Amino acid sequence: MAEKKKRTPNVQNDSWVVIAADSVIDTQKHDSDPAFVRLRNPSTDAASLYMLGSGDVQLYEVKAFEEDFHSWFVGQTVQRDGRLLFVTPMDPLYLILPYLIKSGKEGKFQPVDQVMMDEEFPACSRLLSCTRSLASMHHIAEEKEVGSLKFHRYSQEKTMDWLKKKVERTVTALKKRNISVGEGVKSSTYVRVKSESDANEEDYLRYAHGLISEYISEDLSKALLKHLQLPELTSPKETEPPTKKRKLSDNPVEAGEDYTKFNSADFARKPPKKMTAAQKSLAKVDKTGMKPMSSFFSPKVKAEKK
């Protein structure tokens, strides 16, 4: 019969299957090619992959559809990973925001090119070349012009209003796309027979807030929740009944669930039974290197044949 197949990790590819916005491949106007760049993900604070369009004028985020047991046939070759990359336009302000917040703590107006510096991700300064960046900076910062120079200072108030607008726009998009936002829905592939009438405005707001939170820090996400006047959800853990604890009191236990005998004073654990001589001698046997009995009942693991 067939051998057990061992999975080997995906090796590095030099090709990918990508769906990209039309604007990505529009390289006519600018000299540089679009390029993948690693930048600080505002939500996780770790590196994530983004793409800068030609001439750095547009920022794209890169998401991968990844599911087990998929591969591609590309022309006359097989691509082992069945990944599908999506390169979709993204507002560069999301990536600029954390830097501005950080410098904003000093409370000074600063030129943005001084703010956008990161030893770990030197490419972050390229974000300022995006057409939307400087033009929309006023959404998240106060601006001051001195001569020909522009200075910026982070504004929480402005940012919240900006994010709120983002959430509202997301709600519109969610409704347009008929995306199930209700709490009960667990699978997007689940086909509803009747339209979702139980999804109320709050569900949409909360869902949109969750989506936007993928692009902002946790602190901002919490602040935004407050700004949207959405009560914080109690975590499902808290809604679970507390684990039962036996009361350590002398009072008789109320009937209901009858565990009284465990609570009564004369209930005591029996000491472990004494082992017979034979059991004792068996226990002393050197068992190093021996398989436990249970291992004989689990399925065998066979090594992959070379």
Partner 1 sequence: MDLSPFEADNSVSCRLASLIPDACKTEDCCLGIDEAGRGPVLGPMVYGICFCPLSKKEELKGLKVADSKTLTEAQRENLFQKLEEAKSYVGWAVHILSPNTISTCMLQRTKYNLNALSHDTAIGLVQYALDNGVQLKEVFVDTVGPADKYEAKLSQLFPGIEVTVRPKADSLFPIVSAASICAKVARDRVVKGWNFAEDLGEVDADYGSGYPNDPKTKAWLLKYLDPVFGYPQFVRFSWSTAQTLMDSKAVTVHWDDDEEDGEKAAQRKNNRSMLSYFSAPAGGNDQTQTHQTHRFFTERRLKSLNTL
Could you list the residues that contact partner 1 (CB under 8 A)?
1-8, 13, 16, 36, 38, 41, 43-44, 46-49, 61-69, 78, 85-86, 179, 186-188, 207, 210-211, 213-214, 218, 237, 240, 243, 298-299, 301, 304-305
User: Contact at 8 Å (CB) between 50 and 63?
Assistant: no
Neighbours of 182 (CB within 10 A): 14
Q: Which is nearer to partner 1, 13 or 279 (CB)?
A: 13
**In the bound complex, what is the minimum distance in angstroms from residue 78's beta carbon to partner 1?**
6
**In the bound complex, what is the minimum distance in angstroms from residue 238's beta carbon to partner 1?**
9
User: Contact at 8 Å (CB) between 168 and 201?
Assistant: no
H-helix or E-strand spanning residue 51: strand 47-52
**In the bound complex, what is the minimum distance in angstroms from residue 35's beta carbon to partner 1?**
11
Q: Which is nearer to partner 1, 22 or 240 (CB)?
A: 240
Q: Which is nearer to partner 1, 272 or 299 (CB)?
A: 299
Q: Which is nearer to partner 1, 137 or 174 (CB)?
A: 174
**In the bound complex, what is the minimum distance in angstroms from residue 45's beta carbon to partner 1?**
9
Residue 77, classed as helix, strand or coil, is strand
**In the bound complex, what is the minimum distance in angstroms from residue 274's beta carbon to partner 1?**
31
Amino acid at 81: D
Q: What is the largest CA-CA distance in the chain?
A: 97
User: Contact at 8 Å (CB) between 133 and 127?
Assistant: yes
Work out whether the CA dihedral 125, 131, 132, 135 comes out positive or negative. positive
Which is nearest to 174 in space by CA: 191, 166, 190? 166
d(CA 58, CA 90): 8
d(CA 65, CA 85): 6
Neighbours of 146 (CB within 10 A): 9
- What does each C-alpha distance from 182 to 172, 192, 196, 221 come to in angstroms? 15, 12, 8, 20
How is residue 225 written in tokens?
């929740």
Pairing of strands 141-146, 149-154: antiparallel
**In the bound complex, what is the minimum distance in angstroms from residue 109's beta carbon to partner 1?**
32
Q: Which is nearer to partner 1, 173 or 282 (CB)?
A: 173
**In the bound complex, what is the minimum distance in angstroms from residue 264's beta carbon to partner 1?**
25
